[in-house]
Amino acid sequence: MSADDASVRRPTLTQVAQLAGVSLKTASRALNREPNVAPSTGRRVRDAADLLGYRLNGIARELRRGATSALVGLVSGDLANPFYSAVASGIERELRQHGLLLITANNDEDAALERSLVDAFLERRVRALLVIPSGSDHEYLSIEGNRGVPFVFLDRPPDGLAADAVLIDNAGGARSAAEHLLARGHRRIALVADLRRMAPQKGRIDGFIQAMRAAGNDAWEPYVRTDVHDVRHAERAVRELLDLDPAPTAIFTTNNRLTTGALRGMRDIEDKPALIGFDDFDLADVLGTTVVAHDMTALGREAARLAYERISGHTGPARTIVISTSIIARGSGERPPK
């Protein structure tokens, strides 16, 4: 079985050329289908390549052609979160149309790891770098930004650095959720939010509060729970909220994880409060959960598009694209106050 040593070298172009009885350069031309190669020569070279199982060495090619690869890097949170994977999928499809490949790495929400992954990508000479940042200080990237490696920030704006970004209309989405509930007569509306230091969360919290204030409503103030970071914590927070007297009649959760937690927390409650969650999710329709939806795949696609424009030489000031949101009413957000 292991007759072949694992370290057999792959055939090189030189060997193909020798076998075909032509020079290195001619072999190169033939395989790249450049003009001005005699048909017979071309065929001879390609036959030799097939015979040897030759495959172009992309690394060598890239070095010669300008030391920049056809790779685009994505550093994101956790691919296992459907939000990130939907975004990644959108990116990948868009890039593929331009012959670019996507390298991904998870930063596990760790700023130090994020930085070292960005480093690793830059060493590989990626053509562009897409980041869903965890850390909040991106100044260390500013040197890079000026050196020809375009950055695009997704979901969270760059901090201390001018770069392209694709964001979600967080404040607007949160506002519309609050208004949706207010319009149905809710006054005691609870807010369950993730870490305030993360910009999208801040936007959603602000939007919510803004809508409440605009409605002259302050009954929500005792029902705010922020910095709720995981599903279990959200489940507990919701249980505690519903144990209050008077209990809130509606709940707004600011991301998919928290919505999951809320659904678990409300699972055995008979008279469920109204619920609206930010981020759509897979079985929301079956569960009848009203959400603030946005197109995650589009988010990725737009980011990839911005990156591609920069790669293609576009210069100019940093741009920001905002993905709009819309409420999808499925029942849970339309329950009247008790």
Binding site residues, a copy of itself, CB under 8 A: 1-2, 4, 6-8, 10, 53, 55-60, 62-63, 67, 69, 71, 78-80, 82, 84-86, 88-89, 92-93, 96, 101-106, 119-125, 143, 146-148, 260, 263-264, 267, 281-283, 285-287, 297, 310, 313, 315-317
What's the CA gap between 253 and 190, in Å, rounded?
A: 8
CA distances from 328 to 177, 194, 203, 281, 283 (A): 10, 22, 20, 11, 13
The option from a copy of itself, DNA, none interacting with 24 (CB < 5 to 8 A, set by class) reads DNA
Of 242, 190, 181, residue with least CA distance to 215: 181
Among 2, 7, 36, 315, the residue binding DNA under the rule CB under 7 A is 36
The item of DNA, a copy of itself, none sharing an interface with residue 28, based on CB under 5 to 8 Å by kind, is DNA
Question: CB under 5 to 8 A by kind: which of DNA, a copy of itself, none does 224 bind?
Answer: none
To the nearest whole angstrom, how small is the minimum distance from the Cβ of residue 28 to DNA? 3
Please list every residue from 102 through 141 that binds DNA, using CB under 7 A.
Answer: none
Q: Which does 255 bind (CB under 5 to 8 A by kind): a copy of itself, DNA, none?
A: none
Closest to DNA by CB, 51 or 63 = 63
Separation of alpha carbons 255 and 84, rounded Å = 12
What are the CA-CA distances from residue 42 to residues 46, 225, 236, 270 (Å)?
6, 70, 70, 76
**Nearest approach, Cβ of residue 202 and a copy of itself (Å):** 26
Tell the smallest beta-carbon distance from residue 113 to a copy of itself (Å).
Answer: 9
Ramachandran angles phi, psi of 226, nearest 5°: -115, 175
Q: How far apart are CA 116 and CA 141, in angstroms?
A: 12
70 binds DNA (CB under 7 A): no
The DSSP secondary structure of 284-330, one letter per residue, reads HHHHT-EEEEE-HHHHHHHHHHHHHHHHTT--SS--EEEE-EEEE--
Which one, of 194, 196, 84, lies nearest residue 136 by Cα?
A: 196
**Given 47, 51, 65, 148, the residue binding DNA (CB under 7 A):** 65
35 binds, among a copy of itself, DNA, none (CB under 5 to 8 A by kind): DNA
* Helix (H/G/I), strand (E/B), else coil: 54: coil
